[in-house]
Structure 1
Amino acid sequence: MVTDSALSDELNHPRMLESLAIGYSYHVQQLGGILREERRAEAKMSKKQRWALSAKVSLQNLCLTGAFLGSVWDSLSHTKAYGTDLIIDWKSVEGDHKEHGKAKNRVYWEQRGFDTLRPGACNTFTAPAGRVA
Structure 2
Amino acid sequence: MEWQGRRQSDNVEDRRGQGGANGSGPFGRGGGFNFPVGRRGGGLSIGTIVFLVVIYLIFKAMGIDLLQMVDSGSTEGPAYEQSAGDSRPASNDQISAFVRTVLAETEDTWQGIFQSQGQTYEDPRLVLFNGETRSSCGAASSASGPFYCPNDHKVYLDTPFFRELSNRFGASGDFAEAYVIAHEVGHHVQNQLGILGKFNEARERLDEAQANKISVRVELQADCFAGIWGKFTDQKGILDAGDLEEALNAAQQIGDDTLQKRTQGYVVPESFNHGTSEQRVRWFRRGFESGKLSSCDTFSGPV
- The TM-score normalised by the length of structure 1 is 0.81
**C-alpha displacement of 1:48:** 0.8
**C-alpha displacement of 1:83:** 4.3
Q: Whole-Å Cα distance in 2 between the matches of residues 4 and 45 of structure 1?
A: 42
What RMSD in Å do the two structures reach over aligned CA positions? 2.3
Runs of 4+ displaced beyond 4 Å: 1-4
Query: What is residue 16 of structure 1 aligned with on the other side?
Result: 177
Out of 248, 252, 269, which is 1:92 matched to?
252
Q: Secondary structure at the match of 1:35?
A: helix
Q: 1:87 touches 1:111 (CA, 8 Å); kept in 2?
A: no
Mapping for residues 65-76 of structure 1, pairs under 5 Å: 65-74=226-235, 75-76=237-238
| Structure 1 unmatched ranges of 5 or more | none
Amino acid at match of 2:250: W
**C-alpha displacement of 1:43:** 1.3
**C-alpha displacement of 1:57:** 0.3
Q: Whole-Å Cα distance in 1 between the matches of residues 285 and 181 of structure 2?
A: 17
Query: What is residue 12 of structure 2 aligned with on the other side?
Result: none
Out of 67, 88, 112, which is 2:286 matched to?
112
More strand by share: 2
What does the per-residue CA deviation read over 1:94-119, in whole Å, with 9 as the maximum and x for residues that have no partner? 24251101110000000100111111
Q: Whole-Å Cα distance in 1 between the matches of residues 80 and 255 of structure 2?
A: 29
**C-alpha displacement of 1:61:** 0.4
Amino acid at match of 1:5: E
What does the per-residue CA deviation read over 1:58-112, in whole Å, with 9 as the maximum and x for residues that have no partner? 0000000101111112421435xx3442233112222425110111000000010
Higher-Rg member (1/2): 2
Q: Whole-Å Cα distance in 1 between the matches of residues 223 and 255 of structure 2?
A: 15
The size of the alignment, in residue pairs, is 125
Q: Whole-Å Cα distance in 1 between the matches of residues 281 and 80 of structure 2?
A: 29
More helix by share: 1
- The TM-score normalised by the length of structure 2 is 0.38
**2:212 is aligned with 1:51:** yes
| Structure 2 unmatched ranges of 5 or more | 1-15, 17-77, 83-93, 99-172, 258-271
Out of 240, 252, 256, which is 1:78 matched to?
240
**2:207 is aligned with 1:33:** no
What is the identity percentage for the equivalent residue pairs of Structure 1 and Structure 2?
23
Q: Kindly tell me: are residues 4 and 52 of structure 1, through their superposed partners in 2, closer, same or farther at Cα, counting changes over 3 Å?
A: closer
